[in-house]
Structure 1
Amino acid sequence: MESCCDLQVDVNGEETFMVDKKIISSFSGRLSKLFAKSRSSVNNFKVIFHDFPGGGENFELVTRFCYNNGIIEINPSNIALLNRAAHFMEMNESVSRRHNLLEQTEKSLEQISYWSWSELLVALKQCQDLPPVAKSSGILQKCLDSLIGRVALASGSEASPYPSNSSPDSSGFRFSCDTRSTESLKNSFSRVTWWFEDLLVLNPNLVEMVVKSMLSRKYDHAIISRFLFYYQKSKFVTATSVEKRKIIESVVDLFCFLDQSSVSCKSLFGILRVALSLNISKGCRIKLESMIGSQIDQAALDNLLVPSPHGSNYLYDVNLVLRFLKAFLRGGISKISPVRLRRVASLVDLYIAEVAPDPSLKPSKFIALTSALPGSARESYDGIYSAMGMYLEVHAGLSEEEKMKICCTLNYDKLSSEACMHLAQNTKFPSKTTVQALISQQSKLKNLLHETNHSRSFTDSPCSISSNGSRGAKDDSQEQIVLYAGKLDISADNERLRAHLQGMQWRVMELEKACRKMQTQMAKIMKSKTTSHSNAISLPKLCS
């Protein structure tokens, strides 16, 4: 075919091609329409493309197709480029029924099940390098379906089955590059993670499509989670700050689609530390903090010790921990098991003890930490009391009113006797807290006396009187309650209360001795009844 160069084509400002207008337009509906509208008598035309897919290299492939009378070798390395160019240039059956590029690429795509694993990755990488409109052609989705189907079969996943001609034993299901077989890949990687490294060639947008397709096929969330952590860590090695931010935001968004039990809390903290230096979006940060907060019971103290943001005076980011706790409690206390709640309380107590010596920590933040969890979360407030002591020692300049606000979060009923006695003599605490500690101790003693009197009235029943003569020797191994008040250094106004408290303590000790004797007596009665094979009634221990 005789040709002339009467058409000048500028491709994206990269290259300029001189081609035959008649030959090119005979295969391109876009150019034929353009020339049909032109009324110019000029023989030489110039066409400028600003967004030609694949640039000058791909336009050269298109010209070869046209000059070769609609024939070109289509393979996985160029199918995505040619398919997109065919859409762009309108090289469809409306222009040429027998030799149109769009139909040829779509027929070639039907052989995707016979592509090797490496060829499939090459095609996917080309798809991601093309403009977004390339996704509308359908080639990207077909490549994704093929990739995920192969991963599912090779990993033994419960994902949707792939066509039988793509099984690992078939000629079309070749995972490896030309020099590596399927078996060598399985030996190099574990059965479920062998594909992790290969997918590093994909950008975050394409990884998002891969993961969402996996989720639609019920793929194992734990494996997807491991892949996302691997992807983030591996891509960070060579990524710029902008690329790192994009990767973090994409990975965090995908974590939200997973079962949170499959996402490692420790690894999330690793992402958080990196994300804080990248200035990620507010929405991404909220999602990340919410995921961490929902499983904060799995965290360790070191995880919480995140340095404060730039410009803050205090050592650690207390506000971050408060947001974690808010996320943890978001569903309501009733939905959190007592075991998890106590575990978080223990962790928070350790954290409070760590930040309490910080001289820059404001009282409002300290109060927020100590009151962040409900009272039912802690069985003992001794840890909180100890942290308060450290805080008040460092912040000795606080007013009595500020000190009282801090101490208001202390539950005196859940303080041990030792802590109460220590508090009564602790000059760092306000004087009012001394009275509250003593009142709490008095209340405990009254309850103990009531229980002891109730037990004694039970032993005065006819059953116990009948066995009054069989009292045994004192059992030194029995556990006894020792209440020691010590010397209380309090004001004269509280002296009467202290004396009353000591008197009650001595009375309890005397009652405890009597209770121990009665317990020994009842044990002998039970033993004698068992020996005589009578129907003995099991009696409870009166003291323990």
Structure 2
Amino acid sequence: MKFMKLGSKPDSSQSKGDSIRYVATELETEIIVIIGNLKFYLHKFPLLSKSGHLQKLIATSKNEEKKNKIDEIDITEIPGGSVAFEICVKFCYGITVTLNAYNVVAARCAAEFLEMNENFEKSNLVYKSDVFLNSTIFRSWKDSIIVLQTTRDLSPKYSDEEFNLKLAKRCLESIASTASIHTSKVEWSYTYNRKKKLDPKVKKQEAVPKDWWVEDLCDLHIDLYKQAIEAIKKRGKVPAFVIGEALHAYAARRIAGFSKGTVKTSDRSLTDSIIELVPDEKGSVSSGFLSKLLRAAISLGCEETVKERLKKRISEQLEETTLSEILSYDVDMVQSLVKEFMSRDPKTRSKVSVTKLIDGYLAEKSRDASFLLQNFLSLAETLSSFPRQSHDGLYRAIDMFLKEHSGISKSEKKRLCGLMDCRKLSAEACEHAVQNERLPMRVIVQVLFFEQIRANCSSTENTTTTLNTEDDEWDQ
């Protein structure tokens, strides 16, 4: 962290209890400055020579008590409070004081409030603070982030609002500029807390990941974080997937229970803001992250437009979704995702992946005895037009349903098993099916029949065989 030291005198400021501060000298106290419950016992000359505001207050003081010649001034409204005022006091006395990223904004706002500018003395505190900000802070990645956060934490009611806006803008420009530089120009001194193993043989500049800056920005409040991400986006030099990584890291850090799917109601606006920042480019964020955002949006009762946007994004990448992610959705949600996916007419390869995913979903959901046959059929039939090289996954789902729902009727079994093409079962699946007492006898006969055909015609690639499956044969 960068810093600037002002003054040269040793620190003679002292305290008495929790409510009194004073500067130890042989001179008697001439002025008491009150800030909340704290009183500063000070001397006029050091203060009035540098502060136009205190000079005016002393000139108009209405202290008419004859015995008490000490002026009392209440400036509780000073930006930065007693801490910032104490920095100003030490500067006035020439006591060594250190400006850094954590206190420079408060000190600058307090100095502005006290009118510690060039009208009273050259190189006054306002000037010194500005020099430090321009020459050091805005050139430092970490310090720019810290200062940006302090602009919000300070919330100076009586300070120069225009200055605060300009300060935040300068910080954002610095952050966006640094985050956008090529990784070959990034020094490895920057913070990077994420657990990534780097090859020791790789050169230093090549070892810096594109998302090296992600963790540092997680310290910002969502309002400032949003501005920072938008500023980075505007420069157009950071890939969309890196922005996605940044948002994922921020959500995991700032939304309590996000990773476990147990978010709190108080995090709704935070969740809305993160969703709003998700890049439009497909693949910019992982399907897992999108799934977590959707679960959070549902749990928090976010607007339907927000949830619909997430559903649309998940459907675009449905082939990348894992079984554990999709199991958190009910059948209606999965069905809507599949239908949205189908409307985009994706590549055959994507359809195969989605089919496997839904087969796995049906198998796992079928373990629940309350899972309805109609839900199983509806979702499975939605995929009837999708290419399946193998029906093993569907067979497993059907078998699991039959195992947990032994009370269904023969006609229901027929409709359920009718989803499956026995010709597309592997040898292992066929071996299991012919010994499976849960299957209707007709299905077992079909499996045996097609296995025999396969054995007899293994040398013929284009053999076509059909088997009558009229209703009256199912009960034989």
Q: Displacement, 1:89?
A: 4.6
Q: Which residue of 134, 149, 154 corresponds with 1:130?
A: 154
Please say if residues 269 and 303 of structure 1, whose CA atoms lie closer than 8 Å, have aligned partners that are also in contact: yes
Please say if residues 80 and 127 of structure 1, whose CA atoms lie closer than 8 Å, have aligned partners that are also in contact: yes
Q: Displacement, 1:110?
A: 2.7
Please say if residues 7 and 46 of structure 1, whose CA atoms lie closer than 8 Å, have aligned partners that are also in contact: yes
**Equivalent residue runs for 1:41-440 within 5 Å:** 41=64, 44-47=71-74, 49=76, 52-67=78-93, 76=101, 78-89=103-114, 91=116, 96=120, 98=122, 101-112=125-136, 115-117=139-141, 119-120=143-144, 122-124=146-148, 126-127=150-151, 129-131=153-155, 136-155=164-183, 176=189, 186=204, 189-190=207-208, 192-196=210-214, 198-199=216-217, 201-218=219-236, 219-230=238-249, 249=271, 252-253=274-275, 256-257=278-279, 259-266=281-288, 268=290, 280=300, 282=302, 291-306=313-328, 317-319=329-331, 322-327=332-337, 329-330=339-340, 333-334=343-344, 336-371=346-381, 373=382, 375-378=384-387, 384=394, 387-388=397-398, 390-392=400-402, 394-398=404-408, 403=412, 407=415, 415=421
Please say if residues 176 and 185 of structure 1, whose CA atoms lie closer than 8 Å, have aligned partners that are also in contact: no
Higher helix content, 1 or 2: 1
**CA distance, structure 2, for counterparts of residue 80 and residue 97 of structure 1:** 20
Please say if residues 8 and 16 of structure 1, whose CA atoms lie closer than 8 Å, have aligned partners that are also in contact: yes
Between the two structures, name the one with larger relative contact order (CA 8 Å, sep ≥ 6): 2
Please say if residues 200 and 231 of structure 1, whose CA atoms lie closer than 8 Å, have aligned partners that are also in contact: yes
Letter of the 2:465 partner, please give it: L
> Given the superposition, is the C-alpha separation of residues 217 and 56 from structure 1 closer, same or farther in structure 2, using an over 3 Å criterion?
same
Q: Displacement, 1:81?
A: 2.1
- Which secondary structure state, in structure 1, belongs to the residue aligned with residue 39 of structure 2? strand
**CA distance, structure 1, for counterparts of residue 203 and residue 265 of structure 2:** 29
**CA distance, structure 1, for counterparts of residue 374 and residue 176 of structure 2:** 52
Letter of the 1:326 partner, please give it: S
Letter of the 1:318 partner, please give it: D
**Equivalent residue runs for 1:503-542 within 5 Å:** none
> Given the superposition, is the C-alpha separation of residues 48 and 114 from structure 1 closer, same or farther in structure 2, using an over 3 Å criterion?
closer
**CA distance, structure 1, for counterparts of residue 113 and residue 410 of structure 2:** 78
**CA distance, structure 2, for counterparts of residue 175 and residue 489 of structure 1:** 72
**CA distance, structure 1, for counterparts of residue 207 and residue 396 of structure 2:** 51
> Given the superposition, is the C-alpha separation of residues 59 and 289 from structure 1 closer, same or farther in structure 2, using an over 3 Å criterion?
farther
Letter of the 1:263 partner, please give it: V
**CA distance, structure 1, for counterparts of residue 183 and residue 239 of structure 2:** 10
> Given the superposition, is the C-alpha separation of residues 146 and 398 from structure 1 closer, same or farther in structure 2, using an over 3 Å criterion?
same
Deviation readout 1:329-385 (Å, 9 max, x if unpaired): 4487145344423431331122112222321213454344335x3643355895657
- Which secondary structure state, in structure 2, belongs to the residue aligned with residue 216 of structure 1? helix
**CA distance, structure 2, for counterparts of residue 301 and residue 143 of structure 1:** 43
Q: Which residue of 5, 26, 32 corresponds with 1:7?
A: 32
Please say if residues 236 and 244 of structure 1, whose CA atoms lie closer than 8 Å, have aligned partners that are also in contact: no
Root mean square deviation of aligned Cα: 5.5
> Given the superposition, is the C-alpha separation of residues 16 and 85 from structure 1 closer, same or farther in structure 2, using an over 3 Å criterion?
same
- Which secondary structure state, in structure 2, belongs to the residue aligned with residue 140 of structure 1? helix
**CA distance, structure 2, for counterparts of residue 185 and residue 91 of structure 1:** 50
- Which secondary structure state, in structure 1, belongs to the residue aligned with residue 355 of structure 2? helix
Identity %: 22
**CA distance, structure 2, for counterparts of residue 305 and residue 476 of structure 1:** 39
Please say if residues 384 and 410 of structure 1, whose CA atoms lie closer than 8 Å, have aligned partners that are also in contact: no
Please say if residues 211 and 224 of structure 1, whose CA atoms lie closer than 8 Å, have aligned partners that are also in contact: yes
Letter of the 1:16 partner, please give it: K
Letter of the 1:352 partner, please give it: L
Please say if residues 65 and 72 of structure 1, whose CA atoms lie closer than 8 Å, have aligned partners that are also in contact: yes
Please say if residues 204 and 247 of structure 1, whose CA atoms lie closer than 8 Å, have aligned partners that are also in contact: no
> Given the superposition, is the C-alpha separation of residues 354 and 117 from structure 1 closer, same or farther in structure 2, using an over 3 Å criterion?
closer
Letter of the 2:386 partner, please give it: A
* Structure 2 equivalent of residue 505 of structure 1: none
Q: Displacement, 1:73?
A: 6.9
Please say if residues 211 and 254 of structure 1, whose CA atoms lie closer than 8 Å, have aligned partners that are also in contact: no
Deviation readout 1:269-298 (Å, 9 max, x if unpaired): 57778x59x965635777655543431211
Please say if residues 318 and 341 of structure 2, whose CA atoms lie closer than 8 Å, have aligned partners that are also in contact: no
Q: Which structure has the greater CA radius of gyration? A: 1
Q: Which residue of 424, 443, 465 corresponds with 1:483?
A: 465
Deviation readout 1:171-191 (Å, 9 max, x if unpaired): xx98748xxxxxx99469525
**CA distance, structure 2, for counterparts of residue 378 and residue 33 of structure 1:** 84
Q: Would you say how many aligned residue pairs link Structure 1 and Structure 2?
A: 403
**CA distance, structure 2, for counterparts of residue 152 and residue 418 of structure 1:** 52
* Structure 1 equivalent of residue 196 of structure 2: none
Please say if residues 118 and 175 of structure 1, whose CA atoms lie closer than 8 Å, have aligned partners that are also in contact: no
**CA distance, structure 2, for counterparts of residue 367 and residue 478 of structure 1:** 34
Please say if residues 356 and 387 of structure 1, whose CA atoms lie closer than 8 Å, have aligned partners that are also in contact: yes
> Given the superposition, is the C-alpha separation of residues 40 and 54 from structure 1 closer, same or farther in structure 2, using an over 3 Å criterion?
closer
Please say if residues 34 and 73 of structure 2, whose CA atoms lie closer than 8 Å, have aligned partners that are also in contact: yes
* Structure 2 equivalent of residue 16 of structure 1: 39
> Given the superposition, is the C-alpha separation of residues 65 and 478 from structure 1 closer, same or farther in structure 2, using an over 3 Å criterion?
closer
Deviation readout 1:458-479 (Å, 9 max, x if unpaired): xxxxxxxxxxxxxxxxx99544
> Given the superposition, is the C-alpha separation of residues 77 and 376 from structure 1 closer, same or farther in structure 2, using an over 3 Å criterion?
same
Q: Displacement, 1:252?
A: 3.7
Please say if residues 62 and 82 of structure 1, whose CA atoms lie closer than 8 Å, have aligned partners that are also in contact: yes
Structure 2 spans left out of the alignment, 5+ residues: 1-24, 191-201, 426-432, 447-456
Please say if residues 52 and 116 of structure 2, whose CA atoms lie closer than 8 Å, have aligned partners that are also in contact: yes
Q: Displacement, 1:144?
A: 3.0
Q: Displacement, 1:198?
A: 4.6
Q: Could you state the TM-score of these two structures normalised by the residue count of structure 1?
A: 0.55
**CA distance, structure 1, for counterparts of residue 347 and residue 274 of structure 2:** 27
Q: Could you state the TM-score of these two structures normalised by the residue count of structure 2?
A: 0.62
* Structure 2 equivalent of residue 445 of structure 1: none
- Which secondary structure state, in structure 2, belongs to the residue aligned with residue 153 of structure 1? coil
Letter of the 2:302 partner, please give it: K
Structure 1 spans left out of the alignment, 5+ residues: 157-167, 178-183, 307-316, 439-474, 499-544
> Given the superposition, is the C-alpha separation of residues 411 and 195 from structure 1 closer, same or farther in structure 2, using an over 3 Å criterion?
same
